[in-house]
A = this chain, B = another copy of it.
Amino acid sequence: MSKLDDVYSKLTIKTGAKLALVVLDGLGDIATAAQGNLTPLEAAKTPNLDALVRSGCAQGRLTPVAPGITPGSGPGHLGLFGYDPLEFEVGRGVIETLGLGIERKNGDVAARANFCTLDDKGIVTDRRAGRIATEVCERLCGLLSAKIKKLGTTQVIIVPGKEHRFVVVFRGAGLEGPLTDTDPNREGLPIAAAQPVDAKNAKQKKVAKLIADFYKAALPLLAKEKPANGFLMRGIAHQPDIPTFEQRYQLKAAAIAVYPMYKGLSQLVGMTKIEGPQTIREQFERYVAEYENYDYFFIHYKYTDKAGEDGNFAAKVKAIEDFDAALPVLLARKPDVLVITGDHSTPCALKGHSWHPQPVLLHSASCGNDKLERFTETGANLGSLGVMEAKYLIRHMQANAKMFDKFGA
């Protein structure tokens, strides 16, 4: 924990205030001539959001990680949750397991894996086994899972992904990463042995042994398969402990998300996962229903990002308008502090995540009024929050919730 985090912790007081963070995934965008020089937020009709802005909001822009850096969903959300993404790096294997809906436990070691093709001498001839169909991958993972549930006292969890990809989680006491890949990174070589990155680390050595045992048990089960008669493992790492949201902020937090990745990210920091709602309207209804049970609500909406990734401007506008149409459900039981933002930008013109700071809107009884008419990127440039690192957002939310004592006399 940084010195500043420590200062915040010491100033924190419990107030019973209700805080809500609504993440429109990939919300930020850029204006291009091809789209009439408007961003989707600018082009969308958002009467409810507009009314909220005019009632008094603070706006600004959030740098997800650091200037120029394009974040994945992991760092994007950790930042919004107040965890410096440069301090709390989440392993690639862990993110994959989250994306596949596997609950994570402290101490798990996870690895990404690919099915591959081996010749009769054990040489890798195709690192992706001809990109086998997802159904084949599911069948093969089922085959392995049925036979390999434990290695010694360590639990082994095998979960299929898309095409040739799957994830292996080792769960038990005394495990630690990172280890080197078993993937030789090019064809014409045999499968490599996973080696402890720190040769003196007994926990890493234990994992090296586990992986060797896993190969010993698994390869015979695949021997007659074509083309996927082998597999390669990468990114073998454990997830370092992350202090929970409640420890860090004294806020009991709930996540109302639809997609496994975002449920998983919220669980990384110890939020309670609320299952059921599928639409943003249902998510807001559930927020109202759970209002008394939690202090902090993380509500995740995926469709802005999806449209951005597809480069579909009209769909992104529509996603924003759908959100706006549902917004009154949430506003009917207004939290003390409401934030609406993205986890990063996903500009339609770039068809992917980007580094552009996402716009952020904060509404509370004490946020002041930036006197803007709407919530847009160019408007947010003028707001009182300025351009700040996303990790500070939670601090503004806490301040607006009157959760901080005065610093110094």
Binds B, one of A86-94, A207-215, A324-332: A86-94
Q: Is B69's CB under 8 angstroms from A7's CB?
A: yes
State which of B90, B357, B406 has its C-beta within 8 Å of the C-beta of A71: B406
Q: Is B381's CB under 8 angstroms from A92's CB?
A: no
Q: A residues 158-197 with Cβ under 8 Å of B?
A: none
- Docked Cα-Cα span, A69 to B7, in Å, equals 9
* Chain A to chain B: the 10 pairs with minimum beta-carbon distance, closest first: A386-B387, A30-B368, A68-B395, A68-B399, A67-B392, A72-B408, A95-B409, A75-B408, A31-B369, A72-B409
Cβ of A154 < 8 Å from any Cβ of B?
Answer: no
Q: Is B381's CB under 8 angstroms from A75's CB?
A: no
Selected A-B contacts with CB under 8 Å, 20 pairs: A30-B366, A30-B367, A31-B369, A32-B369, A37-B56, A67-B388, A68-B396, A69-B407, A70-B399, A70-B404, A70-B405, A70-B406, A71-B406, A72-B407, A354-B366, A355-B396, A356-B368, A377-B384, A381-B383, A385-B387
Cβ of A310 < 8 Å from any Cβ of B?
Answer: no
- For this chain, the copies found in one complex come to 2
| Given A66-B395, A68-B395, A95-B409, 19 extra CB contacts under 8 A | A4-B86, A8-B68, A30-B368, A32-B56, A33-B55, A39-B368, A67-B392, A69-B395, A69-B404, A70-B399, A92-B409, A95-B408, A350-B366, A355-B404, A381-B382, A381-B383, A384-B387, A387-B387, A387-B388
Cβ of A230 < 8 Å from any Cβ of B?
Answer: no
State which of B56, B66, B71, B386 has its C-beta within 8 Å of the C-beta of A4: B66
- Docked Cα-Cα span, A3 to B92, in Å, equals 20
The interface residues of chain B lying within 8 Å CB-to-CB of A92 are 408-409
Question: Smallest CB–CB gap between A274 and chain B, Å?
Answer: 24
Q: A residues 36-79 with Cβ under 8 Å of B?
A: 37, 39, 55-56, 61, 65-75
- Docked Cα-Cα span, A57 to B142, in Å, equals 53
The interface residues of chain B lying within 8 Å CB-to-CB of A72 are 406-409
A interface residues, tally (CB under 8 Å) = 70
Cβ of A378 < 8 Å from any Cβ of B?
Answer: yes
Question: Smallest CB–CB gap between A105 and chain B, Å?
Answer: 19
Cβ of A398 < 8 Å from any Cβ of B?
Answer: yes
Q: Which residue of chain B lies nearest to A33 when distances are taken between CB atoms in the complex? A: B56
Q: Which residue of chain B lies nearest to A59 when distances are taken between CB atoms in the complex? A: B381
The interface residues of chain B lying within 8 Å CB-to-CB of A397 are 68
Cβ of A11 < 8 Å from any Cβ of B?
Answer: yes
Q: A68-B399, A386-B387, A392-B67 are in contact. Are A408 and B366 (CB under 8 A)?
A: no
Cβ of A347 < 8 Å from any Cβ of B?
Answer: yes
Question: Smallest CB–CB gap between A79 and chain B, Å?
Answer: 10
Q: A residues 351-405 with Cβ under 8 Å of B?
A: 353-357, 366-371, 377-378, 381-388, 392, 395-399, 404-405
The interface residues of chain B lying within 8 Å CB-to-CB of A29 are 368
- Docked Cα-Cα span, A396 to B356, in Å, equals 9
The interface residues of chain B lying within 8 Å CB-to-CB of A75 are 407-408
- Docked Cα-Cα span, A99 to B378, in Å, equals 42
The interface residues of chain B lying within 8 Å CB-to-CB of A398 are 68
